[in-house]
Amino acid sequence: VPSVIYMKNNKRGIKILAAILSMYLSSVSYADYLDDWPDEALCSWMEQESPPEYIVDEALKRGLECVPKSLIKATEIESKIKIYDVDFSQPVLDSLLSKGIGKTDFDFSIYKILKNHEKLQCFFRLRRVVYENIDEGEIEDWNIADGYLLIEKGEVNIDGNRSRWRMGGLSYDPSYLEDEVNLRLTKDGHFVGKIAYFTHHIDTGEVPRSPLYIEFKKHKKSKPLNYKSSEKESAELWIDVEEWAGGVLFLSNCKIE
């Protein structure tokens, strides 16, 4: 029995000694540890798909030719980055923190937005275009959204009281038309910007689908709005959404308010 107890105590002592030794070795810096390594040994490690970070650091420090050029370039770029402390007053800081990046944010600076013109009201119909059978696209014969919009100083606003999505589910929430439409009218009669866009009809009991946030851009198939005319004008504005389907926004009965 005493010999068994001795063996157990001896094993426990070995484990404790190994743990202490491991802690000691981990406290030794890799830089000192690698000082005696030959260049060839470091380069053999660098040939691995993911060499340890301390190996990479040592190889970079020595300027070895086996270090990939892409890694050297990335390190040079990183070394040029300078970080500065900036002090903001509390009101400015509060203002910055309160401004999130919206899902409909859009850079209009690359477009010539119409700023000075009379307020226009138009009736709109949004229809889906399917590309599965015809390369040019087939316009479906039903509205996925319709209603009235106002254009003032280039900004497009949907009349939430007289407009709606017809895709079921979340699309019935009027805030998507009132708050998540960020469009402008360009000087050549196109809409540009970003909106919440529902691609699928949801029946009662089906799992709701969130909208996509798609961009309106100038499209080669679009027929722009002639806002300068005193007559009631119309337009046909095509939208790229997905590979299998897009959309077309029809404007009609556009008149000065």
Give residue-wise pLDDT tens across range 155-200: 999 999 999 999 999 999 999 999 999 999 999 999 999 999 999 9
Q: Same structural domain for residues 58 and 155?
A: no
Please report whether residue 85 resides in a domain.
no
Q: Same structural domain for residues 132 and 31?
A: no
- pLDDT band for position 7 (50/70/90)? very low
Q: Same structural domain for residues 75 and 129?
A: no
Q: Which of 24, 55, 80 is the last residue of a domain?
A: 80
Q: Which of 51, 80, 109 is the last residue of a domain?
A: 80
Q: Same structural domain for residues 137 and 37?
A: no
Q: How far apart are CA 145 and CA 179, in angstroms?
A: 15
- Percent pLDDT > 70 in the chain is 78
Give how many domains the chain has, as a whole number.
Answer: 2
Structure tokens at 119: 């307020």
Q: Same structural domain for residues 21 and 148?
A: no
Check residues 73 and 51 and name the one with the higher pLDDT.
Answer: 51
Please report whether residue 97 resides in a domain.
no
Looking at residue 113, the DSSP 8-state letter turns out to be B
Q: Same structural domain for residues 32 and 135?
A: no
Q: Same structural domain for residues 243 and 143?
A: yes
Please report whether residue 194 resides in a domain.
yes
Q: Which of 27, 49, 80 is the last residue of a domain?
A: 80
Domain that residue 146 falls in: 120-256
Is the per-residue pLDDT at 214 higher than 80? yes
Supply angle C-alpha 146, 147, 148, rounded to 5.
140
Please report whether residue 109 resides in a domain.
no
Q: Same structural domain for residues 125 and 73?
A: no
Please report whether residue 99 resides in a domain.
no
Strands (E), 15-76: none
Matching residue, tokens 């590979």: 243
Q: Same structural domain for residues 130 and 24?
A: no
Angle, helix 53-62 to helix 39-46, in steps of 10 degrees: 130
Q: How far apart are CA 42 and CA 62, in angstroms?
A: 10
Q: Same structural domain for residues 167 and 250?
A: yes
Please report whether residue 88 resides in a domain.
no
Q: Same structural domain for residues 154 and 247?
A: yes
Query: What's the whole-model pTM score?
Result: 0.61
Q: Same structural domain for residues 71 and 143?
A: no
